[in-house]
């Protein structure tokens, strides 16, 4: 007899058999180590094709990778790759979770990785997310064995199996801290790396006429969002098989796993809302909310004026209930509009960077709310009632600043909450030759989130040995404007680490931090905050006379500026120009990572 969906209870290892609530959806959680490790094809087939609530749990945010499209590395790259993963989920229909692991780079085996990531800490994260999402099926990309080739990959499968085994253990993981116990029903592994071990093959190339694409095509578009890693993927049409290996089952599925016809074998899906083809033309989808702000950024504590527009593009009247309880009836092919103030109550920034890391674990607690849902918390929302449907449904939309670009056309950028004045320097770290005189510019970027012009003065705090060409500089910063103020530093520094800080003053307030924007066309724009200071490492360095370097830039390569800071004459050479460049004039040639 198939096992009911709600297989949970409160014992040490829960095994109760509750009848699923009407409309309960099947839930599948995929677990791996990094952004782009997930089985995107299966996620698309489940979420878009079978209405299964599907999520991916990545242990890391991909901070340790390289960057093909920009200079973001480390935590900045983690922010970019998080945004890329959310862009992928918007395409394939999945949800997204993260553990607290910081991607420290390659590790040879699980033991090495555990020296960076305390095992119990990550297992606690995974159990919390398993209990919050409550998956009936867990899937892994990797095997948990040395053949995974990367310690982080290996750990992801080990932790997935342990969470599968221990999710219902209320003795080791008390409900008060980890949520109600949950015991998944089945465990699968992606068989891409061991096709001979596959027990089930799914045709993810199945075409969905309502969507106008196959699930493999959707998956290719999803995977191509990982642009920083160079993972552009061809769209394949026709039969495309996704191979899985059944690792364990707690339900009466065929004893011989190769006899299974579906990953849902043994699970009673009779009362579930899953396993249905996606249907377009839903009445609720014809009611659309737009929320357009009067500016791009609002200062912390200030308010932006937002124009709310609800359009009814359906065939029946709809009733809109605004936040203040006002009810408005919208006839077919009509709209209603009103204005409301949106107050900036907290800075727009990656929430996991608010606290410093503890070694290679992020300092903030793991979120049991999916990252894509966290992203929507600041969205505008209204409730809509449709005749013939029970209750009101909530409609949400991002609050955006909208304008027309002569090349791109309609441009919509999310409203951000920022300091009244943001102060940012080009680098967080620079180098200098110890005990040797140098001269270099220091550029301070000022950004205003105010609705009117404001006089701003900027000054630098420098260590002993350095002088500045001006005690301060004064400018007027327009509404929402960005200006760069440049100082010239001269002098020399003793060996050691020294700090240079920029302070901006406006309307009696000093500002000592600012944001670095991370903006690419394929992601939601991001902001990373840091102090408006730079740590200068003065090091002993001896250079040959007339030291000149020809530098072939690589991917995510920030080495050339450091060489110049140390007094090396650097000439950049593009890979295509190597055959026509006289290399004999250089003392050395440096080739950056993945240069060609």
Measured distance CA(522)–CA(340) in Å, rounded: 30
* Angle, alpha carbons 539-544-545 (nearest 5°): 120
Is 300:419 a contact under the CB 8 Å cutoff?
yes
Structural domain boundaries, residue 166: 27-259
Question: pLDDT under 70 in the chain at which residues?
Answer: 1-23, 270-285
What pLDDT does residue 23 have?
A: 64
Measured distance CA(99)–CA(53) in Å, rounded: 19
Q: For 204, phi and psi rounded to 5 degrees? A: -80, -5
Question: 251 and 326, same structural domain?
Answer: no
Closest CA to 555 of 85, 73, 232, 74: 73
pTM of the shown model: 0.90
Residue 363 within a domain: no
What pLDDT does residue 194 have?
A: 80
Q: For the chain, what is the domain count?
A: 4
What pLDDT does residue 275 have?
A: 54
Residue 48 within a domain: yes
Q: What confidence tens digit (pLDDT) does each residue in 175-185 have?
A: 999 999 999 99
Measured distance CA(304)–CA(342) in Å, rounded: 5
* Angle, alpha carbons 380-350-139 (nearest 5°): 90
- Strand pairing report for 318-321 and 380-385: antiparallel
Q: Which contiguous run of DSSP H or E holds residue 359?
A: none
Residue 465 within a domain: yes
Where would I find the H helices in 192-302? Answer: 215-223
Measured distance CA(401)–CA(307) in Å, rounded: 10
* Angle, alpha carbons 363-345-525 (nearest 5°): 70
Give the burial class of 255: count Cβ atoms within 10 A of its Cβ; 0-12 exposed, 13-18 middle, 19 or more buried.
exposed
What pLDDT does residue 16 have?
A: 34
CATH number of the CATH domain containing 314 = 2.60.40
Measured distance CA(464)–CA(498) in Å, rounded: 9
What pLDDT does residue 14 have?
A: 35
Residue 97 within a domain: yes
Question: 562 and 517, same structural domain?
Answer: no
Question: 175 and 96, same structural domain?
Answer: yes
Question: 214 and 74, same structural domain?
Answer: yes
Question: 435 and 296, same structural domain?
Answer: no
Write the CB contacts of 471 (distance below 8 Å, at least 6 apart in sequence): 459
Question: 190 and 247, same structural domain?
Answer: yes
Question: 474 and 388, same structural domain?
Answer: no
Residue 275 within a domain: no
Residue 65's beta-bridge partner residues? none
Measured distance CA(343)–CA(490) in Å, rounded: 44
Residue 147 within a domain: yes
CATH number of the CATH domain containing 428 = 2.60.40.2310
Token pair belonging to 331: 């006839």
Question: 73 and 146, same structural domain?
Answer: yes
Residue 269 within a domain: no
Where would I find the H helices in 23-109? Answer: 40-44, 75-92
Question: 566 and 456, same structural domain?
Answer: no
HEC readout, 10-32: CCCECCCCECCCCCCCCEEEEEE
Considering 358, 389, 417, which residue would you say is the last residue of a domain? 417
What pLDDT does residue 279 have?
A: 39
Question: 189 and 292, same structural domain?
Answer: no
Measured distance CA(16)–CA(11) in Å, rounded: 9
CATH number of the CATH domain containing 216 = 3.40.50.10320
Residue 3 within a domain: no
Q: For 436, phi and psi rounded to 5 degrees? A: -120, 135
Question: 249 and 132, same structural domain?
Answer: yes
Is 501:459 a contact under the CB 8 Å cutoff?
no
What pLDDT does residue 114 have?
A: 96
Question: 287 and 397, same structural domain?
Answer: yes
């Amino acid at each position: 007899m198939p096992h009911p969906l709600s297989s949970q209870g409160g014992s040490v290892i829960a095994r109760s058999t509750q009848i699923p609530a009407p409309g309960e959806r099947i839930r599948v959680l995929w677990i791996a180590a990094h952004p782009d490790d997930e089985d995107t094809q299966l996620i698309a087939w489940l979420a878009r094709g079978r209405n299964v609530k599907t999520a991916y749990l990545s242990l890391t945010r991909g901070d340790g990778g390289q960057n093909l499209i920009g200079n973001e590395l480390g935590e900045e790259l983690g922010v970019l790759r998080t945004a890329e993963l959310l862009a992928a989920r918007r395409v394939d229909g999945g949800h997204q979770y993260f553990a607290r692991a910081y991607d420290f780079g390659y590790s040879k085996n699980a033991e090495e990785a555990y020296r960076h990531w305390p095992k119990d800490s990550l297992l606690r994260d995974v159990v919390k997310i398993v209990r919050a999402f409550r998956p009936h099926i867990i899937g892994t990309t990797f095997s948990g064995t040395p053949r995974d080739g990367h310690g982080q990959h290996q750990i992801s499968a080990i932790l997935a199996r342990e969470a599968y085994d221990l999710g219902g253990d209320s003795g080791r993981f008390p409900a008060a801290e980890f949520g109600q116990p949950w015991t998944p029903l089945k465990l699968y592994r992606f068989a891409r790396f061991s096709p001979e071990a596959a027990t089930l093959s799914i045709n993810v190339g199945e075409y969905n006429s309502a969507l106008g694409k196959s699930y493999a095509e959707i998956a290719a578009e999803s995977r191509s969002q990982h642009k920083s890693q160079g993972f552009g993927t061809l769209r394949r049409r026709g039969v495309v098989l996704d191979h899985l290996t059944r690792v364990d089952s707690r339900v009466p599925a065929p004893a011989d796993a190769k006899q299974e016809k579906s990953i849902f074998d043994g699970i009673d899906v009779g009362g579930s809302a899953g396993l249905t083809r996606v249907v377009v033309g839903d009445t609720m989808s014809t009611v659309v909310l737009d929320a357009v702000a009067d500016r791009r950024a609002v200062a912390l504590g200030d308010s932006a004026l937002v124009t709310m527009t609800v359009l009814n593009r359906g065939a029946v009247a709809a009733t809109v209930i605004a936040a203040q309880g006002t009810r408005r009836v919208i006839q077919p092919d009509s709209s209603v509009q009103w204005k409301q103030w949106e107050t900036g109550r907290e800075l727009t920034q990656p929430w996991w960077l608010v606290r410093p890391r503890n070694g290679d674990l992020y300092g903030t607690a793991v979120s049991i709310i999916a990252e894509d849902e966290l992203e929507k918390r600041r969205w505008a929302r209204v409730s809509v009632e449709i005749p013939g449907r029970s209750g009101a449904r909530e409609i949400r939309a991002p609050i955006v600043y909208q304008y027309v670009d002569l090349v791109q056309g309609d441009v919509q950028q999310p409203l951000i909450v920022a300091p009244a004045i943001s102060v940012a320097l080009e680098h967080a770290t620079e180098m200098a030759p110890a005990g040797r005189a140098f001269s270099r510019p220091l550029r301070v970027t000022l950004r205003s989130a105010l609705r009117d012009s404001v006089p701003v003065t900027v000054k630098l705090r420098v260590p002993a040995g350095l002088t500045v060409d001006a005690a301060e500089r004064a400018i007027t910063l327009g509404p929402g404007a960005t200006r760069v103020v440049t100082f010239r530093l001269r002098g020399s520094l003793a060996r050691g680490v020294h700090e240079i800080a920029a302070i901006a003053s406006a309307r009696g307030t000093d500002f000592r931090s600012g944001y670095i924007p991370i903006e690419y066309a394929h992601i939601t724009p991001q902001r990373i905050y840091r102090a408006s200071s730079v740590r200068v490492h003065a090091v002993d360095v001896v250079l040959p006379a007339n030291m000149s370097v020809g530098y072939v830039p690589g991917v995510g390569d920030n080495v050339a500026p450091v060489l110049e800071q140390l007094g090396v004459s650097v000439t950049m050479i593009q890979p295509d120009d190597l055959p026509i460049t006289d290399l004999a004039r250089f003392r050395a040639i440096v080739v950056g990572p993945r240069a060609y």
